[in-house]
Amino acid sequence: MSGFKTLRRDILAGRRRGTVLVADAARAALCRMGTNCFMRRMGLKGRKAVPGRIVALMSLIEPQVGLVLQAAFDRIAQDETEGTTYMAPAE
């Protein structure tokens, strides 16, 4: 099983948790316009952060979202090694 599918399975099973930022889409090399359109289509327009479990479910609909999920969890792993954390902005 690929690394992304394992990550998605772990998130959906509750073994991993994290917040996915819209900025993670840029790190995953997805275009800003496509990201904005997808967020609007999913009812998430204006959000800066989305729970990882929601993004994992969205990746079942749109496979490119898996790239964002992987970028987010790479960022989270890097933050953990550097000792920094991210707090999601209040909606």
Residues of the chain under the 70 pLDDT cut: 1, 84-91
pLDDT for residue 83:
72
Asked if residue 59 lies in contact with residue 25, where contact means CB atoms within 8 angstroms, the answer is: no
* pLDDT at residue 60 in the model: 93
Residue 15 lies in a domain: yes
Q: Is residue 91 part of a domain?
A: no
Range of the domain at 31: 3-82
Contacts of 28 (CB under 8 A, 6+ apart): 67, 68, 70, 71
Q: Assess if residue 18 is contained within a domain.
A: yes
How confident is the model at residue 91, as a pLDDT?
Answer: 47
Q: Domain count for the chain, please give it.
A: 1
